[in-house]
Amino acid sequence: MDPQLKLWGTILGYMLLALTISACTSLWIRYHLKRNDLHPRRAIKKKIFNFKKT
């Protein structure tokens, strides 16, 4: 096997692995944010609303 082909295969393999891990992490974070209902905008609005009440 040609060393240059092996090098490009390794580079592309690691890039594919990184993209897969990134996609899985992104989906996992979105899933858990939706389940726990911890959207930053709502949390900020609640803090401002509670601050105005007092």
Per-residue pLDDT of the chain (54 residues; tens, 9 = 90+): 799 999 999 999 999 999 999 999 999 888 877 776 555 565 566 555 666 555
Question: What is the pLDDT, as a whole number, of residue 36?
Answer: 62
Does the pTM exceed 0.85? no
The whole-number pLDDT of residue 30 equals 84
Residue 38 sits in which domain range?
Answer: 3-52
DSSP labels, 9-54:
HHHHHHHHHHHHHHHHHHHHHHHHHHHHT--HHHHHHHHHHHHHH-
pLDDT of the residue at 31: 81
User: pLDDT at position 29, please?
Assistant: 87
